[in-house]
Structure 1
Amino acid sequence: MSSLVRANSAYRVHATSARLAARQWRYNSSVTTTRRPPRTLPAFSMENKVSLVTGAARGLGKEFCRAFVQSGCTSLALFDLDESEAKKAAKELTEMACVNSDVKKEDVKIIGVKCDVSSETAVQKAFAEVIETFGRVDSVVASAGIVENYLALDYPFDRIKRLYDINVHGAFFTAREAARKMIPLGGGSIIFIASMSANIINIPQPQTPYNASKAAVKHMAASLAVEWAKKGVRVNVLSPGYMATNITKTILRQDPERKKIWETMTPMGRIGEPEDLAGAIVYLASDASRFMTGSEMRVDGGYCII
């Protein structure tokens, strides 16, 4: 047997074993068990931390909340323009926190708060409710954002203004109010959700204002990181690639050719699942990243490297 054949054979065996192990892990994770959870680095724990996520009622924002709860967070605020959806998501997460856990429902405080991040006054009011409820905030994720696809020559001005008001001004209002609450208490972690679009130009869809807004968010985070570093506030960026949220799935069902293009241009050959971001967001929000600020973490399946 040639060395190439042996290598290919070994690779197939390894790949098969990896798939079986992943399948078994998913099975074990889905089965109710009384066994102790696996040990992990304590710095990754979100226990005893008060967390806040904007745009949290659905999509990636809700996925970030789920990751925090799975990492031990029992004090969490969900900001969203749709108050009823935010409260509904808060209730679901409260129930989830008690599954396969010794955590009791009365030990969990997860609230849904109405907030239009494009309004500085609304952001201040929502943060005041969080401080009144929890007394502090330790980690904040500025996740609220929108994307639209118009040709630049046809993009209506009111739509451009709305996009920047949410994606850029909303991120700034959120971060500034978070810092105002964190600094007197010793600091905290702020994470901006940008996009790989801050670094590349997406095709085939036209989205110039969106790309520019995410580039602005990335540079804003770096600027605030320098300004607040000695005050104990860390500011980092998580930049996802194409992620299979419910909205994205709906779009791609109507446009399978676009899905094929996106997958072909991604070295890993697939679109990311929202849970692929869980480890990254917990790392950035937790003490595990305590010496990291002003940095961007891309989770894009390798899209930006080619």
Structure 2
Amino acid sequence: MSHGSSYPVGRSSSPTRALPPVPASTLAHDRPAVPPAVRLLAAAVCCLLALGLVGVVFVWTQPGQWIDGLLLPRAERGGGYEQSSDLFGPATVVLRHFGRPSLLAVLLAAVLVVGLLGRRLLPGVVGVGMVLGAVLAAGAAKSALPRPEFAVAGSTTHNSFPSGHVAVATALALAFLLVVPAAVRRWLVLPGAAGVSVIGAATMIAGWHRFSDVLGGVLLSVALFCLAAAVLAARPGGAARRLPAVPASGRAWRVVAEGAVGLLVLVWVVRVLVPGLATALRWGPFVAILAAAGLTMLAVGVAAFLIRSVEFGGPAQSSDDRTSGR
């Protein structure tokens, strides 16, 4: 009686023919992806459209001006938008220090130094240009755009859209994303968004800007960032890294989970740093600050996600990495 399998082991009764290799293009996870430069240009256009939409709704319509005034009502005395809160003093201190040209010069120099140390000097130069472009664009928009008079109670015709302080803070946070390795960027999203949120909250508490101005400053800088990143990604040598084969649904859930955790941490940081925020402000400014912080977190997170597969320089790749597209 024989035991075990009756099939021959280690030898074949008939010659075998090797199957032809399956083309990589037929695999779901190896489908040709949209080039990073095209993806970034599309995102820049979307941000510019959103910026225009925010300006049209909040600046050039009566309901928009009314919503801005509802969130940040004018002060009962003095006619300004300063919020009667114990946070007014700290807000003005934050803005006074952040508005110093010397501090801006130090932060821009830090972008260049990080880029130089990581062999990303060109992205560092582009990042500095992006910050300066945000300053010029915000200033030009505030000077050129009119603010119609709709006889909205508590509203003025002084145009402050978009916020230059918020635009510069956002551009600085995004400039550092250009000069660090791709694996490090996600760790800069939360600190960057928190810093921008603090500047945005300070401008609203001090009465320098409305809620729409803060949102406009964020959108302006994200649009400039996408344009700058598209130029860097399209240049010779700006190749994308090859990502591991992860289903699209898995990537989406990971992004959503990281965004949710980031928002929770951001809210926790705000509560720890400013424990009396809810009690120190009326509901309008409180809602405006939380909404601006959440939208800022979303915008900075999306910007980091758009360049997740792009290295803007750094140490030279090996020959195996270049041939495999990594």
- Which interval holds the TM-score relative to the shorter structure? under 0.3
Task: Compute the TM-score of the two structures, normalised by the length of structure 1.
Answer: 0.27
**Which structure has the larger Rg?**
2
Task: Compute the TM-score of the two structures, normalised by the length of structure 2.
Answer: 0.26
Structure with more strand by fraction: 1
Structure with more helix by fraction: 2
Higher-RCO chain (CA-CA 8 Å, sequence separation at least 6)? 2
